[in-house]
Structure 1
C-alpha cells in the first residue's frame, strides 16, 4: 500500500467544484469542498457538487477539511458534506464565516459547529503529517494556500492565486514563506490553472479601481453593477468609487447583504462614509445619477438577475432608458453564450453595457508568468495542474515544461484518478468512483443522466400524450383515444396528425387486447414504439411519448346500478307505507 496518494474528486477538466484528497499513511486530508454552477446541458439543475462515495467508504480516515478561500468553488459543497460527515473544518476567519453562511442555508447543515479558524502562522500536527498555510493574492481577503508536510516532502495546494505587487493589506502574497516552503522541499504541487492560457500579465487592482471610478464619474444615468457577492475586493472598490463620486449604493442581491455585513463586522470591508448604503425602498428618493445598484444575484450569480431586470421581471429593479450595466467580474468561458444573450437583452431594454474584461486583462487567477514564478519559488518534483478545463490544465503543464520539469513528472488527472508515490516515484495506477452529484431543489443526487436526457428532449421536441380507456373484461376500447401534446406541434394546424395518431393508438391497443397473454408494460411500450416511428416519419422529431392506459370495471358498475335500483324500490315501499298511515290517521280523526 502506498504511503502517499493524491486524488482529485473534482476541479479537474472542469470549471470550479474543487475537491482534492491527500492521503498520508492511513489519514485523509480534504483540500477544499466546492461546487460549480450548471452549464447549458444540465437543464433545471441548480448546482453540481463532487461525488462523496469514496469518502463515505473511508469516512473513519478523514481528519479534516482545509479551505483555501470563501468562494463557492471552494466552500459551496460544504453544507452537503458536513450533513454527512462529522469532521473538523479549517479556514481563515473570513472563510469560516462565509462557510457558516452557506451552511445556515441548508437545514441538514445549519447545526454543524466544528469550525476552526487558522492563519498563516498556524501549524496543525496530525499523526502522519503537519498542515500549515501561506497567504496568497485573490479577489477575497485571507486567501490561503495549503501545505501538507510529509516525511517524503511537502504537498502544496495553491488554491486560487495571482501575484500583484500593488495588492492591499490582507491580499498580499507572502513571497518569503513560499521560498521557505520550496527550500524545505516540495514533493508535489497542485497548481491553479484557471487563467493558464493567458500569456499577458493581469492588470494591477489600482488600475481597475481608477477605471471603476472614472466610469462612475462620467456616466450621468443610473449604474447597475453586476458583481459576485463574495468578491470582497471588487465590492470595496465599488464602495470607494461610489463615495468619491457622490453616489449612494443600493444592495439588491440575495447574498449581498449577509456577506457585506459579515465582511464589515470582521473589518475586511470598510464603508468610506456611514451613509453610503441606502435601503432599497428609498431608491426613489434619489436621482438616477446619484445611485449605484449592486446586483449580485442568487448564490452569487448575477447574470440571471440581469436578464430578469431586462425583461421587467426583477423583484425590485428593472432596466430603463439611460441605465448602464457595469459587469465588474470576469465570466468564465463556459458562460460566454449566456453573457452575449444577456448583453443583447439589456440593450433591447434601453440600457448599455460596459465590462472590465472588455478593457483590461483582469482576473483573480494566475497568468502564465505567475504560474512559472510560483513553480520557480517552490521547485516541485511533481506538478498537478488543477482548477480548470483540460486545455487550461494543458497550458499549465506547458508552463511546468518551460521551467525544466520533466514531462513524466507532470500529471493531468481526471476525476477519480489516484496518483500514488511508490518506490520514490509518482505513478497513476488506479482510480476511484467519482462523478457529479446534481442538486435540484431539495433533491440531492436524485437526478441522473436519464432524467437529464428526458429534460433535454422535452426542451427540444416536447411531449406527446396518448390516453386510452379499455374494458379488459370485454377486451375492447371504450372510447376513441385522446391525444394531447405540449411543445411538439401546434394542435390547431395539425388536426390530421392528431387524428391519425389516435387511430394508430387504437389499432395498437386493440391488437394487444386481442392477444390474451398481453401485459401492461408490453402494451405501453408497443404504443410508444409505434407512435415514435410514426411521428418521426411525419415530423422528423422525437418527442417524449407518454401512453396512459386506464381500465374500467363493468362488473363493479353493474353492482352499483343494482344497488341503486334496489334502493329506489325500498324508497317506494317506504313512501307507500307513509301514505297509508296518513290516510288511517285522517279516518280515525273523523
Structure 2
C-alpha cells in the first residue's frame, strides 16, 4: 500500500486558517480552507490565509475541498486560493454552500466555482478516499464532522462542535455515526481545541434563550443586538423572541443582511409574520417596538454598532436607555476594541449586556467534558488536538491524558506538520515538513507583506520615521520626520540631524557606503538623545 500523508496547512498556531490535506498515492483531498484574523503584531493586514505552497505544487492531484461548516475560518480563504490550485470541486453543506457562493459573486468567481451540496447520509468517493459525514451541534446550522475513510482506517476531522442535547431548533449530534466509526476503526481523531481550557460541559443554546428573552422583554426602549453575522442560531433565537414580544427587526450591516437573507431562503430563520422591517419603516415605530440586529460585536471599526457609538451611522443614533446586547465570544486580539466600544456605549447612556454580566452567549465549541466523551465515543488509535493556539492544543492533550489516553499516541497539531502512515501503528511525525507561515492579505495584495514589511510597519508605529535626502553635488540636505518629535522641537532636531549627515558625507565613499553610514550615525544619535529607534531612510543622489 501507499503511504497516507496528513498535512496540517493551517489552524494549529492561531485561531483560524483551518486547512488539512489528505494524500494517498496521486490523490489529495483538503478539509476546510479558512482565513484567519490578524492580531496586533501584523499591522495593516486584513486577513491571513493558510500556506498552500504544498498544494500548488500538486494541484493536478487535488480531488476536492470538503467543508465542515460555513464560518469564515473554515471557508474564507477559498476566493483567494482557488486560482492557485485549479478550482477543484468544493463539497459543502447547504448553509456553507450559499455563503461560499455569495463570496464567489463578490470576487467575480461564480462561473469558475463548482460547488456540490452534501447532507447527512451522503458518501463521497474521491479517488482512494471515501468521505462520510456526522452532523454535529455548533452555532451555525449544517455543521458536520468529516470522516475520511482511508486504507489504514478512518480519520475524523471534527470541525467546530460541542455536545448539546437541547440545541435550538436543530437536531442534536449524530452520536450513532461516531459510534459506528469506532466499530469500524478510527485511525486518528483530529479534534477542535478552541475551548479546551474550559472545564465541565459546554453550554446549551436553549439556556441562552431564557436570558435573551428576559432582557428583550424588560428593555424600556430600543434593543440593539449584536453578534457574529454567521451565528445563525443566535439570530434565529432573537428573531423568534422579537416575534413573540411584538418587536419588529431591522437589520444593519452588510454581512448581517447577507447571512439573514440566506438563512431565510433556507428556512433556517422562520418567516412567520412580518417581523422584518426596512430602516425607513422602522422610523415610524415606537422605540419599545424595535430591535436592531447590528454587526460590530467585536468592535470592528467599520461595523454598524461602532458607527452608532461614534455618531457616524447614517440611519441610527444611540439614545439614552437603549439596551445593547453583545451576544458573542471575544476573538483573541479584539479585547481592547470591545472594551473601548462598551465604554462609548455606556457613556452615551446605553445599558450594555455581555457574557460577563449575563448568559447572553453560548460558545459553539466543546469543553473538557465534551472532549473526554468524544475520545470515549470514537476510541481512536491516535489523537491530534487541532484548531487553536498551542496553549489550547496542550490543554486538550492534558484532558486526554486525564482519562488515561496514552501519551505516546497523542500528536499535538502544528502548522506544517505531516503525519505519515505506512501502517496503522507507527506513524512518522514530520514537523515543519511543508511551508507553514500564514500568507497575508492586505488590500489587493496577497502574500506581498512579508516579515520585512511587517517589521518596518511595527517600527513606524512604535517610533516614527526620519526621511533624509542628500544631493551630494549641491550639498543640499532635506530632513522630514513623522511621529518622532513634536512640531516645536522639529526645527532644532532636523538641524542636529543635518550636522550628522554632513559629517557622514565628508568621510567619503560611494553612495551606498554613504547611505549606510548616514543611517547608522543618525539612528545612534536619535537613540542617544531620545532612546527611540525610528525608521531612518536616507536617499543619496
Paired residue total: 535
Indicate conservation of the 8 Å contact 2:35/2:72, yes or no. yes
What is the rounded CA distance, in whole Å, between the counterparts of 2:384 and 2:25 in structure 1?
20
Q: Does 1:521 align with 2:484?
A: no
Cα deviations by residue, 1:303-359 (Å, 9 ceiling, x for unpaired)? 432333322234443434222321111113443233223222322333232113543
Cα deviations by residue, 1:421-475 (Å, 9 ceiling, x for unpaired)? 134312303511111100001110000111111111111111112233343xxxx
Give the structure 2 partner of residue 586 of structure 1.
none
> Do the aligned partners of residues 308 and 542 (structure 1) sit closer, same or farther apart at CA in structure 2, a change above 3 Å counting?
farther
Aligned-pair CA distance for 1:25: 3.0
TM-score normalised by structure 1 residue count: 0.87
Give the structure 1 partner of residue 375 of structure 2.
375
What is the rounded CA distance, in whole Å, between the counterparts of 1:129 and 1:59 in structure 2?
17
Structure 2: where are the runs of 5+ without partners? none
Match of 2:442 among 440, 444, 447: 440
What is the rounded CA distance, in whole Å, between the counterparts of 1:123 and 1:45 in structure 2?
39
> Do the aligned partners of residues 215 and 55 (structure 1) sit closer, same or farther apart at CA in structure 2, a change above 3 Å counting?
same
1:141-152 map, 5 Å: 141-152=141-152
Give the structure 2 partner of residue 311 of structure 1.
310
Aligned-pair CA distance for 1:169: 4.5
Indicate conservation of the 8 Å contact 2:29/2:65, yes or no. yes
> Do the aligned partners of residues 302 and 250 (structure 1) sit closer, same or farther apart at CA in structure 2, a change above 3 Å counting?
farther
Give the structure 2 partner of residue 197 of structure 1.
197
Cα deviations by residue, 1:147-185 (Å, 9 ceiling, x for unpaired)? 111221111111101111112453421111221111111
Indicate conservation of the 8 Å contact 2:63/2:127, yes or no. no
What is the rounded CA distance, in whole Å, between the counterparts of 1:459 and 1:126 in structure 2?
49
Give the structure 1 partner of residue 72 of structure 2.
72
1:169-184 map, 5 Å: 169-184=169-184
Match of 1:508 among 504, 512, 530: 504
Q: Secondary structure at the match of 1:125?
A: strand
> Do the aligned partners of residues 532 and 156 (structure 1) sit closer, same or farther apart at CA in structure 2, a change above 3 Å counting?
same
Aligned-pair CA distance for 1:2: 5.7
Indicate conservation of the 8 Å contact 2:168/2:233, yes or no. no
Indicate conservation of the 8 Å contact 1:48/1:437, yes or no. yes
Q: Secondary structure at the match of 1:208?
A: helix
What is the rounded CA distance, in whole Å, between the counterparts of 2:33 and 2:132 in structure 1?
18
Cα deviations by residue, 1:393-439 (Å, 9 ceiling, x for unpaired)? 11211222233321010011221011111343123035111111000
Per chain length, whose mean CA-contact separation is higher, i.e. which structure has more relative contact order (CA < 8 Å, sep 6+)? 2
1:183-332 map, 5 Å: 183-274=183-274, 276-297=275-296, 303-304=300-301, 305=303, 306-332=305-331
Cα deviations by residue, 1:35-63 (Å, 9 ceiling, x for unpaired)? 11111111111110101100011112211
What is the rounded CA distance, in whole Å, between the counterparts of 2:411 and 2:467 in structure 1?
51
**Greater mean deviation of Cα atoms: 214-223 or 421-430:** 421-430
Indicate conservation of the 8 Å contact 2:34/2:72, yes or no. yes
> Do the aligned partners of residues 381 and 489 (structure 1) sit closer, same or farther apart at CA in structure 2, a change above 3 Å counting?
same
What is the rounded CA distance, in whole Å, between the counterparts of 1:425 and 1:368 in structure 2?
28
- Whichever structure has more helix as a proportion of its residues is 1
Cα deviations by residue, 1:42-93 (Å, 9 ceiling, x for unpaired)? 1111110101100011112211100000000110101112222221100111
What is the rounded CA distance, in whole Å, between the counterparts of 2:141 and 2:497 in structure 1?
63
Indicate conservation of the 8 Å contact 1:164/1:172, yes or no. yes
Match of 1:492 among 484, 488, 492: 488
TM-score normalised by structure 2 residue count: 0.94
1:302-451 map, 5 Å: 303-304=300-301, 305=303, 306-360=305-359, 362-423=362-423, 424-430=425-431, 431-451=433-453
> Do the aligned partners of residues 386 and 336 (structure 1) sit closer, same or farther apart at CA in structure 2, a change above 3 Å counting?
same
Match of 1:461 among 449, 460, 463: 463
Give the structure 2 partner of residue 43 of structure 1.
43
Give the structure 2 partner of residue 133 of structure 1.
133
What is the rounded CA distance, in whole Å, between the counterparts of 1:100 and 1:302 in structure 2?
27
Indicate conservation of the 8 Å contact 2:154/2:186, yes or no. yes
Give the structure 1 partner of residue 15 of structure 2.
15
What is the rounded CA distance, in whole Å, between the counterparts of 2:289 and 2:456 in structure 1?
49
Cα deviations by residue, 1:375-399 (Å, 9 ceiling, x for unpaired)? 1111111001001111211121122
Indicate conservation of the 8 Å contact 2:54/2:435, yes or no. yes
> Do the aligned partners of residues 349 and 527 (structure 1) sit closer, same or farther apart at CA in structure 2, a change above 3 Å counting?
farther
**Greater mean deviation of Cα atoms: 211-220 or 422-431:** 422-431
Indicate conservation of the 8 Å contact 1:120/1:134, yes or no. yes
**Greater mean deviation of Cα atoms: 441-450 or 4-13:** 4-13
What is the rounded CA distance, in whole Å, between the counterparts of 1:507 and 1:310 in structure 2?
53
Q: Secondary structure at the match of 1:326?
A: strand
Structure 1: where are the runs of 5+ without partners? 551-590
Aligned-pair CA distance for 1:537: 0.9
What is the rounded CA distance, in whole Å, between the counterparts of 1:141 and 1:519 in structure 2?
66
What is the rounded CA distance, in whole Å, between the counterparts of 1:406 and 1:451 in structure 2?
44
Indicate conservation of the 8 Å contact 1:248/1:291, yes or no. yes
Aligned-pair CA distance for 1:294: 1.2
Indicate conservation of the 8 Å contact 1:142/1:171, yes or no. no
> Do the aligned partners of residues 499 and 227 (structure 1) sit closer, same or farther apart at CA in structure 2, a change above 3 Å counting?
same
CA RMSD of aligned residues (A): 2.0
Q: Does 1:531 align with 2:522?
A: yes
Indicate conservation of the 8 Å contact 2:11/2:17, yes or no. yes
What is the rounded CA distance, in whole Å, between the counterparts of 1:273 and 1:519 in structure 2?
79
Cα deviations by residue, 1:517-549 (Å, 9 ceiling, x for unpaired)? x33332322222111111111111111122244
Indicate conservation of the 8 Å contact 1:21/1:29, yes or no. yes
Indicate conservation of the 8 Å contact 1:239/1:272, yes or no. no
Aligned-pair CA distance for 1:101: 1.3
What is the rounded CA distance, in whole Å, between the counterparts of 2:317 and 2:460 in structure 1?
31
Give the structure 2 partner of residue 574 of structure 1.
none
What is the rounded CA distance, in whole Å, between the counterparts of 2:299 and 2:93 in structure 1?
26
1:463-482 map, 5 Å: 463-471=465-473, 476-477=474-475, 479=476, 481-482=477-478
Q: Secondary structure at the match of 1:293?
A: strand
Larger Rg: 1
Indicate conservation of the 8 Å contact 1:227/1:302, yes or no. no
